[in-house]
Each structure stands twice: as structure tokens, then as C-alpha cells.
Chains A and B, each alone.
Chain A
Amino acid sequence: MTLRLVGVGHSHANGTAALADLQLEVGQGERIAVIGPSGAGKTTLLRLLGTALRPQSGSLEILGEAPWAMSARARQRLRARIGLIHQAPPLPARQRVVTAVLAGRLGQWSLPRSLLSLAFPLDATGAEAALARLDLADKLYQRCDQLSGGQLQRVGIARVLYQRPALILADEPVSAMDPVLAGHTLGVLTREAQTQGATLLASLHAVELALAHFPRIIGIRAGRILFDRPAEAVTPAELAALYANDQLEEPSVRIAPLSQPLAVPRC
């Protein structure tokens, strides 16, 4: 079992509950999309699973270990086996792409090796291979501030692929890409996760991408799991209930019929 959450809850600093009484079990190698309206708690869930947040209630087991019952050193070792793909990859502007990708393995490298690699990239081949899967091999020695938002997101994905973690968490990994590129990149990500035998959890705004690329879908609304089932069993009625918005007169998120590909550019 890769993930086991029992009654997990978390509140923001201002007291509003972000997640409440979450029950979730995820097996090794599963690929799951987490969907839901803005502010539903998708990012909080990913941060909890990435041990970047400590749950305030319930018990949490990640890769067979309880992260908050272990020493800080052991927790760092556990974190090295978790890869988090950020929505806006936090890369220093002046850093070169090759260094940013190699930084994925800092958790596995010794300090001397890390420092040496900073001066001279020791595994440029590995970084290039990771970038090549995302069609970015030509950007190897460019600086991060010369890339577009979508390219940066792909560098962030390449870094996690290079890290080869047992658990990949992706927070809106394709939000800055055009629909075609987003679909292609998600395909690469899910395929790579499968070949590496990694468990993949991705939060997505684009429902049609989630249904097309992930076998299991979890719908989250207002900090609770609304449904959790195989992609082919998700009904349009459930999606409508997931995104229903009482405050807007017209639904802001239009859910396309499952058979029809959506071609509306998203930013």
C-alpha cells in the first residue's frame, strides 16, 4: 500500500477547514487524477501527501511509513522517495536547466557530489534523457528565465522524472500549456510513471484530460471526497454535482461531453 489516510483533516491558519475526515487507500503503481473546483483542497491534499504539511487529525501512511512519527533525518530520507511537481516550478531564475533537473537527485547524492555537480554537471546525460522525454533536450544549457511558463512546467516534470521517486505528486502539472501539449505531456508523465513503477497522483482542472489519462478519478469538493471510482464509471451527473456553483449564475466550468475532445485554450 503506497498511501493510507484514515480520518485525515487539516485546517488553514485562519481556522477554515481545508480537508476533513479523509479516507483514502492507494496501491503501488496506481495512477489517480484528483479533480474538483478551485479551493476544494486539492493542493492541500497533495501537500499533506508530500509531507509538506502535517495533518492536524487522523493518521497518514506514506510508502509504508508514518512520516510524522519518525525522526527528521528519516523523514528527509522518505521525502527523497517522493517527487512533487509544482504548478509554478520554483526554479531560481539564473539557474541553468541542466542544474535544475539534476537537483532532483539531491536527496540521494552525497554533499560533495552535489557541490561538484553544481560546478560541473556530473550527469548531463541523465538530465538530457529526462528532458528529451518532454521534447526539451535542446534547452539543456539554457537559463530558466529564458523559458516560457509551459516549458518551465516541463522542466519541473523532467526534474521529478530524473529523481525517480516511488510516489509522484503533481499539482496542476500542465496548467500553463496549450491543450494539445497538455494532453501529450500528461501522456508522457503517466507512461513514465508506469515504466518506473511509481504511484502517480495528479490534481487537474481539465476534466477531459483526467478522464483520458488516468484509470482512477477522485472528486474533491469542500474538503471532502465526493466520489472515488474508475474513470469509465464517472457519470456526467457526478461531474455536474462536483463543479456546481451556487454563487455564479452560470456555471463557470463547462464540462464537455466525454466523447467530444475539448479545444478551448486554457491558461
Chain B
Amino acid sequence: MLIATPAPRDPAALPRLVLTAVVILLLWPGLQLSELDLGVLFDEDNARTMGGFVADFWPPAHDTDFLALLARATLETLAIATAGLALALVVALPAALLASRALSLSAISRNGHPAWWAQALRWPVRGLLIVLRSVPEIVWALLFVRAVGLGPTAGVLAIAITYAGMLGKVYAEIFESVDPLPTRALLGAGSGRLAAFAYAMLPQATGEMLSYTVYRWECGIRASVVMGFVGAGGLGQQMDLSMRMFAGGEVASMLLTFLALVLLADLISRLLRWRLA
């Protein structure tokens, strides 16, 4: 006769229970602190105001004058995002190369661990990248609107600064995540660091770098819209005006334009990845 012995207790059960408890304990004060109250959504007055505004959304505004204005603002938004990203790349690429330990010469003979002084030299660059991205682009935009006046320049500069920090950090991490052996092999055969980067690391990292860069460009489009509200030009500035005038149809047209822009970014990303796969 078989004796049914109970299976040994799942060793992962207790850690999972503790983790769940910790998450709930951490999230509850968060809900309290953020004063989240879903009740306001169902308040009759608020619902009527919102309903009226949303009802205006149909049909989206499409008269010729407005469409011309919209096209101009869209182009401006695209230009802000693209110029900002290009400026950001100029800073981010060299900074990522400096901050990443994947190109360390001292690491070749030390099993991939750079010498302590080489590591110490990377910290200032990392610090710079942290400073660049720790201040939100909207704050930079407010700052630059005061410095260089209303208009797209403030948006471009704000995106360039914040995104340089983000791109630099992520690029450095991508460089460190690819297979280090091809790079080490080239460095070990006397190649310079930049040449080793171009021949061994870039072919492995391009796909991820492109995908992240295009995603950042998409974020840049959205960010430039937000910054438009503080006067940094583009679609956002138009949208701010339309919102103030409760022109729901115009807002709807602009939201549809956003949708198209994000779709476009997605298509570009997919195309590039497919081409490179």
C-alpha cells in the first residue's frame, strides 16, 4: 500500500508572501499621500463640464485655416523633437563612451574589471549624466523661456539637455550588456578603443540603440507638446490656446495628430529594426 507523504513545503512560499505584504505596505501610504479620490469624477457638476467639453470633440476642426495652422505647428513640434534629439546625441555618445567600462584597456588583463583609478575617472561623467537627466525637461523649458524668450529654441535646448542624460546612461548600459569578447579580442590585438568600438561593439548594439533613440524621439514629440504649454512653441502652444477657448474640435484634431505622430515613430522604429535584423 502506498503511503501518501505530504510534498515538502514550497520554499518560495514565504518569500512571496513577505514580498506581497511589503508591496501593499509601501503602496497604501502612497495612495493616502497622493490624495487619490475617485469620487470627484462622478460629481455631477464636474461630470457636466467635462461632458460638454468632450462633446465638442466631434467633429474635429478641419477648416482650411486651422489645418494650415495645425500643419505648421506639427512641423514645428517635429523640428523641436528632432533638433533636440540631435543635440542630445552630440553630448550623449561621447559621454556614454567615457562612462561605459566596456572599452576599458585596463580591464583586458583583469578579467573585465577595470583598475580602481580607471573606474574613478568614469564617475564624473556618470555624475554629469545624472545631473542632466535629474531635472525634468519642463523645468529646463521654463528656465530657457525666461532666458531666450518664448518660442521653439527653449524647447530644443530643454530636450537636448535632459535627453543627453538619458541617452548617455542607456547607451553606456547597452555597451556594457553586449558580448564583451569581440571588443576585448580587438583591444588585445592592439586596436585603438574607438576602432574596437566601431568594429566589435557597434554591430551588436545598433539595433537596441536605434530602437531606444527612436523611442526617445517619440518621447521628445510628447515632451515638446507639454513644453508648448509653458510657451516653448509647437503643437502644445496651439493646444493650450484651444483649451483656453474651450474649442473641443480643435483639441480633438490635435490629439488625432499626436496619434498619427506616435504611429509614425513606431513605424520608423519597426522599419529600422527590420532593416537591421
- What is A's interface to B at a CB cutoff of 8 Å? 13, 50-54, 72, 76-84, 86, 89-95, 99, 103-104, 106-109, 111, 114-115, 118, 163, 165
* Complex partner residue of B188 from A54, A79, A92, A94, CB under 8 angstroms: A79
Given known A79-B188, A163-B189, contact A53–B195 (CB-CB < 8 A): no
B239 within 8 A of A: no
Chain A, Cβ-Cβ closest to B110: A54
* Complex partner residue of B189 from A13, A72, A83, CB under 8 angstroms: A83
| Cβ–Cβ < 8 Å partners of A118 in chain B | 198-199
B106 within 8 A of A: yes
Contact (Cβ within 8 A) B190 A103: no
B111 within 8 A of A: yes
| Cβ–Cβ < 8 Å partners of B185 in chain A | 84, 86, 89-90
Q: Mark B13-28, 1 if CB is under 8 A from A, else 0.
A: 0000000000000000
| Cβ–Cβ < 8 Å partners of B59 in chain A | none
**Chain B interface, number of residues (Cβ within 8 angstroms):** 28
11 contacts between A and B (CB under 8 A): A51-B109, A52-B108, A52-B188, A78-B190, A83-B189, A90-B200, A92-B182, A92-B200, A103-B200, A107-B190, A109-B195
* Complex partner residue of B192 from A76, A78, A165, CB under 8 angstroms: A76
- The complex places the Cα of A72 from the Cα of B108 at a distance, in Å, of 11
B185, B187, B188, B189 — most chain A CB neighbours (10 Å): B189
Chain B, Cβ-Cβ closest to A156: B185
- The complex places the Cα of A53 from the Cα of B113 at a distance, in Å, of 12
Contact (Cβ within 8 A) A90 B189: no
| Cβ–Cβ < 8 Å partners of A115 in chain B | 194-195, 198
B106, B108, B200 — most chain A CB neighbours (10 Å): B108
Tell me the minimal C-beta distance from A71 to chain B in angstroms.
11
| Cβ–Cβ < 8 Å partners of B130 in chain A | none
Given contacts A76-B192, A79-B187, A90-B181, 10 further A-B contacts (CB under 8 A): A13-B111, A51-B109, A76-B190, A77-B190, A92-B179, A103-B199, A104-B189, A106-B199, A109-B195, A114-B199
Contact (Cβ within 8 A) B195 A84: no
Tell me the minimal C-beta distance from A197 to chain B in angstroms.
19
Contact (Cβ within 8 A) B190 A114: no
Tell me the minimal C-beta distance from B206 to chain A in angstroms.
8
- The complex places the Cα of A54 from the Cα of B200 at a distance, in Å, of 24
Chain A, Cβ-Cβ closest to B196: A106
Given known A13-B111, A51-B109, A115-B198, contact A106–B182 (CB-CB < 8 A): no
Contact (Cβ within 8 A) A52 B189: no
Tell me the minimal C-beta distance from A245 to chain B in angstroms.
28
B204 within 8 A of A: yes
Contact (Cβ within 8 A) A90 B179: yes
B184 within 8 A of A: yes
Contact (Cβ within 8 A) A81 B190: yes
| Cβ–Cβ < 8 Å partners of A103 in chain B | 186, 191, 199-200
Contact (Cβ within 8 A) B203 A92: yes
- The complex places the Cα of A80 from the Cα of B206 at a distance, in Å, of 27
Chain B, Cβ-Cβ closest to A73: B105
Contact (Cβ within 8 A) B190 A79: yes
Given known A54-B109, A79-B189, contact A114–B203 (CB-CB < 8 A): no
Chain B, Cβ-Cβ closest to A160: B189
Chain A, Cβ-Cβ closest to B179: A90
Chain B, Cβ-Cβ closest to A107: B190
Contact (Cβ within 8 A) A106 B195: yes
Contact (Cβ within 8 A) B198 A94: no
- The complex places the Cα of A95 from the Cα of B206 at a distance, in Å, of 12
* Complex partner residue of A72 from B106, B181, B200, CB under 8 angstroms: B106
Contact (Cβ within 8 A) A50 B188: yes
* Complex partner residue of B182 from A52, A91, A108, A111, CB under 8 angstroms: A91
B106, B190, B199 — most chain A CB neighbours (10 Å): B190
Tell me the minimal C-beta distance from A234 to chain B in angstroms.
31
Chain B, Cβ-Cβ closest to A94: B203
- The complex places the Cα of A93 from the Cα of B109 at a distance, in Å, of 25
Tell me the minimal C-beta distance from A154 to chain B in angstroms.
16
Given known A54-B109, A90-B181, A90-B184, contact A107–B199 (CB-CB < 8 A): no
A78, A111, A163, A165 — most chain B CB neighbours (10 Å): A111
| Cβ–Cβ < 8 Å partners of B187 in chain A | 76, 79
- Which residues of B, 42-94, contact A by the 8 Å Cβ criterion? none
Contact (Cβ within 8 A) B192 A111: yes
Contact (Cβ within 8 A) B195 A114: yes
Chain A, Cβ-Cβ closest to B192: A111
* Complex partner residue of A99 from B109, B192, B199, B204, CB under 8 angstroms: B199
Tell me the minimal C-beta distance from A199 to chain B in angstroms.
16
- The complex places the Cα of A95 from the Cα of B204 at a distance, in Å, of 9
Q: Mark B193-224, 1 if CB is under 8 A from A, else 0.
A: 01110111001101000000000000000000
